Amino acid sequence: MEPRPRQTFHPLAAGGILTGTTGAGIAVGAGIGWALGSWPLGALGGAVVGVPAGVAAVYRRYRGAFS
C-alpha cells in the first residue's frame, strides 16, 4: 500500500476562503444591524465574528497540508 499523498496548500484559495467567510460575516452582521437600526455597528460585529470564523475555515480546509 502506498501512503496517502500530502495535501497541497494553495495560498490564493486560502485567501479566498478567508475573504469569503469574513465578507459573509460582515454581510450577516450588517443585515442584523440594519434590522435593529444600526447597520454600521452590525457590520463591525460581523467583522469581529467573521475574521476568527475565516481563520477557522482555512485551518479546517488545510489542516493536513503542514503535517
Please report the pLDDT score of residue 1 as a whole number.
Answer: 72
Digit-coded pLDDT (tens) for 4-61: 777 788 899 999 999 999 999 999 999 999 999 999 999 999 999 999 999 999 999 9
Digit-coded pLDDT (tens) for 18-33: 999 999 999 999 999 9
Amino acid 9 reads F
The phi and psi torsions of 6 (rounded to 5 degrees) equal -70, 145
Higher pLDDT, 39 or 2: 39
Q: What is the secondary structure of the chain as a DSSP string?
A: -PPPPPPP--HHHHHHHHHHHHHHHHHHHHHHHHHHT-HHHHHHHHHHHHHHHHHHHHHHHHTTTT-
Q: Is the pLDDT of residue 3 over 80?
A: no
Pairwise CA distance, residues 37 & 20, whole Å = 25
Please report the pLDDT score of residue 5 as a whole number.
Answer: 73
